[in-house]
């Protein structure tokens, strides 16, 4: 009964995604950025759907029940902070640039080498993000349908791939509207049911006003702050968020959509954290027996509510996975392989090869999901790496013109080296054992957990500033950006532009695959 209800909602989402795929009309501009025609409701829905995924719901409830409100709610609140900051300072200028992928910015600002390096890091991080959502779907199907976890992951990714391959950003945006409607109704219903039956009860020291969680090392303050910072700032360079911002029909729509998405994400995240606190206090639920939210729904909630909430979780996970697959494939094809858009001159190679690239991208995400069966932890880890390597070149590149290619390379290399080294040395990551890649040592113990996030970011910042002061941006680097041909490509409706001009410094990159 439960799986049948969830299956119907999934089927509706997939069918909508397939139906709107006709809007692509053979043009990669429609496929990647929806022809830059989306209004505030669709952009806001897609941004919120990307934020309120399984990490902000299932991962949130697991961490909250185990360690307190700020441990879990920080996942959603961090993403809300990211959307708020992006809406206030970045959405309008980024939409105005008319980019196809976020990696385009690194090419324009720093050159081809930095474009490729940043693209590799983006792809790696988003394979982790995609995996976090596949993990939740795998657990859900395992618990409620009895499927093997691996089969659950494969089934989930196959369904997402069906409509993403066909409709790209159009399918993502229209399905997100349905997904967010389900999520909002499910959140309200879950809150009402918990209040009416279980009652809201907060364990001592674990509530939102128990600020020791943000000030005491013993209560996990470094980890909680690391989560807020890595998501609130590191997620600014999320390629799926930016892809949706590029799809907005004008800069003001992009700004309003970000602010709306921030508010919705914060509300839903706090709601699920409060539910988890009550489940842990009143019912004694914990992560020892699987995801806390799934235990609550399976063993205590009425069937109708269970169907609704699970449908929302699956829908949100599908939306995030869809956006991650699309954006990652576009970056791989456009920014690493150098394939460019062609209009009215035969099949569009950027469209064709982006679809082809989705297969290896999905395989990478599945492999991570099978290797590290975590939800919220994978989300934070993905953007911890982005924070250490890409945020400083992006933000300072936007607002400080002095830094050039060498400054960006310094920030990337130093930030990632520091962060990965500390990751390998630290025995835990965000409160759970580091069974991904840990070298036993006597230098670093579990009390250091959380601090590597800040050291990596600070190292990146210092490296960029020092390199920019020593080696300012050259006249040649400024000329590269001007010669890149971006204004021609920015207008997806310009029928006069039959092919995208290839800048001189990218002449060796293939125009078609």
Q: Using an 8 Å Cβ cutoff, are 328 and 122 in contact?
A: yes
The answer to the question of residue 321 being in a domain is: yes
Q: Which domain holds residue 10?
A: 1-386
What's the whole-number mean pLDDT along residues 299-316? 87
The answer to the question of residue 425 being in a domain is: no
Weakest-pLDDT range from 251-260, 288-297, 392-401: 288-297
Q: CA dist 426 to 152, 420, 447, Å?
A: 32, 10, 9
What are phi and psi for residue 400, nearest 5 degrees? -140, 115
Indicate the number of domains in the chain. 1
The answer to the question of residue 266 being in a domain is: yes
The C-alpha atoms of residue 416 and residue 393 are separated, in whole angstroms, by 13
E-strand ranges in 150-258 read none
Average pLDDT, the chain: 86
The answer to the question of residue 401 being in a domain is: no
Residue 497 confidence (pLDDT) above 80: no
Q: What is the CATH classification number for the domain harbouring 298?
A: 1.20.1730.10
The answer to the question of residue 402 being in a domain is: no
Residue 509 confidence (pLDDT) above 80: no
The answer to the question of residue 426 being in a domain is: no
Q: What is the pTM of this model?
A: 0.89
The pLDDT value recorded for residue 496 is 37
Q: Give the pLDDT band (50/70/90) at residue 451.
A: very high
The C-alpha atoms of residue 337 and residue 101 are separated, in whole angstroms, by 14
The C-alpha atoms of residue 452 and residue 256 are separated, in whole angstroms, by 34
The answer to the question of residue 394 being in a domain is: no
pLDDT digits (tens, 9 = 90+) for 56-113: 888 899 889 989 999 999 989 999 999 999 999 999 999 999 999 999 999 999 999 9
What's the whole-number mean pLDDT along residues 408-412? 97
What's the whole-number mean pLDDT along residues 165-187? 90
3-state secondary structure at position 388: helix
Q: DSSP code of 432?
A: E
Give the per-residue SS3 of 93-150: HHHHHCCCCCHHHHHHHHCHHHHHHHHHHHHHHHHHHHHHHHHHHHHHHHHHHCCCHH
The answer to the question of residue 418 being in a domain is: no
């Amino acid at each position: 009964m439960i799986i049948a209800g969830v299956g119907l909602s999934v089927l509706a989402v997939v069918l909508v995604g397939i139906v709107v795929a006709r809007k692509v009309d053979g043009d990669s501009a429609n496929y990647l950025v929806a022809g830059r025609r989306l209004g505030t409701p669709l952009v806001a829905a897609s941004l919120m759907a990307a934020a309120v995924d399984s990490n902000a719901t299932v991962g949130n409830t697991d961490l909250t029940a185990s360690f307190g409100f700020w441990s879990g709610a920080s996942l959603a609140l961090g993403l809300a902070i990211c959307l708020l900051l992006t809406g206030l300072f970045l959405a309008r200028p980024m939409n105005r640039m008319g980019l196809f992928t976020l990696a385009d910015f690194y090419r324009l600002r720093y050159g081809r080498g930095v474009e490729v390096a940043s693209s590799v890091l983006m792809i790696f991080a988003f394979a982790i993000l995609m995996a976090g959502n596949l993990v939740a779907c795998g657990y859900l199907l395992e618990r409620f349908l009895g499927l093997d976890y691996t089969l659950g992951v494969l089934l989930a990714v196959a369904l997402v791939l069906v409509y993403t391959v066909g409709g790209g950003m159009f399918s993502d945006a229209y399905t997100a509207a349905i997904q967010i409607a389900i999520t909002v109704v499910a959140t309200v219903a879950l809150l009402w049911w918990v209040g009416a039956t279980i009652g809201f009860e907060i364990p001592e020291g674990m509530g939102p006003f128990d600020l020791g969680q943000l000030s005491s090392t013993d209560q996990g303050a470094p980890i909680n702050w690391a989560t807020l910072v890595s998501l609130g700032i590191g997620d600014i360079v999320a390629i799926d968020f930016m892809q949706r911002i590029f799809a907005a029909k004008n800069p003001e729509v992009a700004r309003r959509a970000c602010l709306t998405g921030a508010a919705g994400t914060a509300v839903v995240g706090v709601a699920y954290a409060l539910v988890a606190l009550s489940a842990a206090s009143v019912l004694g639920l914990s992560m020892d027996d699987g995801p806390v939210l799934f235990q609550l729904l399976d063993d205590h909630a009425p069937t109708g509510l269970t169907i609704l909430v699970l449908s929302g979780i699956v829908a949100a996970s599908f939306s995030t996975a869809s956006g991650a697959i699309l954006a990652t494939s576009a970056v791989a094809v456009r920014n690493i392989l150098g394939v460019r858009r062609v209009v009215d001159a035969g099949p569009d190679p950027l469209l064709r090869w982006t679809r082809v690239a989705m297969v290896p991208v999905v395989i990478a995400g599945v492999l991570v999901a099978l290797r590290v069966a975590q939800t919220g932890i994978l989300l934070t880890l993905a953007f911890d790496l982005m924070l250490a390597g890409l945020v400083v070149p992006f933000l300072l590149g936007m607002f400080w013109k002095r830094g050039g290619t060498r400054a960006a390379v310094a920030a990337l290399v130093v930030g990632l080296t520091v962060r990965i080294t500390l990751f390998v040395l630290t025995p835990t990551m965000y409160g759970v054992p580091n069974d991904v890649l840990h070298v036993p040592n006597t230098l670093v113990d579990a009390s250091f957990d959380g601090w590597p996030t800040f050291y990596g970011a600070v190292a990146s910042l210092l490296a960029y500033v020092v390199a920019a002061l020593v080696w300012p941006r050259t006249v040649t680097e400024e000329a590269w950006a001007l010669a890149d041909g971006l204004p021609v490509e920015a207008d997806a409706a310009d029928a006069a532009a039959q092919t995208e001009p290839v800048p001189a410094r990218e002449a060796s990159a293939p125009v078609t695959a």
